[in-house]
Amino acid sequence: MRMLMKVSIPVAEGNAAILSGSLGSTIASILADLKPEAVYFAEENGARTAYIFFELGKESHIPSVAEPWFLAFNAKVELHPAMTLEDLKNSSRAMESAAKKYGRAGRPAGA
């Protein structure tokens, strides 16, 4: 299953890794093991944050993708299933079925 993993590195740990010269090499090592489809880096809530898209073979692999970040950087890690546009198109029948069964036609959102 394609996943989005958001990794937020606390400022103190990130600064320490930069000062020791290990930030880039540690991130590169973790990503080499993960073999992601795409990785983007940004700031979120004042922390260095990575958005990593990758294939998760089995749920039992979650520790192997999250623990390196916890151990190396005391990072906060979030995992979310992610879809491509094609995946979304393929889900239209299921969404229509749910709308028919559970939809609240004519009601404003939150009512």
Domains, the chain, ordered by start: 2-101 (3.30.70.260)
- Cβ-contact 24, 79 below 8 angstroms: no
pTM, 2 dp: 0.85
Residues of the chain falling short of pLDDT 70? 105-111
How far is Cα 83 from Cα 93, in angstroms, rounded to an integer? 15
CB 69 within 8 A of CB 8: no
| Residue 28 identity | A
Please, what sign has the CA dihedral across residues 32, 35, 36, 38? positive
Token pair 């940004």: residue? 42
Q: What is the pLDDT of residue 47?
A: 97
